[in-house]
Amino acid sequence: MPIEGYVEYQRREFCRDVKCPIQMELMKQEEGSERYEEIRQECKEKCLFTTWQFHHWLIDRGYLIVRKE
């Protein structure tokens, strides 16, 4: 549920912004195709970026990480 006045992070926004080569290849495929799923699995298991990089990318763009009490 979005917080009024804020936008939520969109799926793979970081990956597209940093031009992840795996994401670039994924975008060439038809969603749900066999090749798409193979690339998606590679993305899940062998991400080229660290949590630290993602976290700092979020901070640099003004994202907040929030959770319900």
Cα gap 5→57, rounded to integer Å = 20
**pLDDT tens column, 48-62:** 999 999 999 999 999
Cα gap 47→52, rounded to integer Å = 13
Query: What residue type is assigned to position 36 of the chain?
Result: Y
Task: Name the pLDDT band for 31 (thresholds 50, 70, 90).
Answer: very high
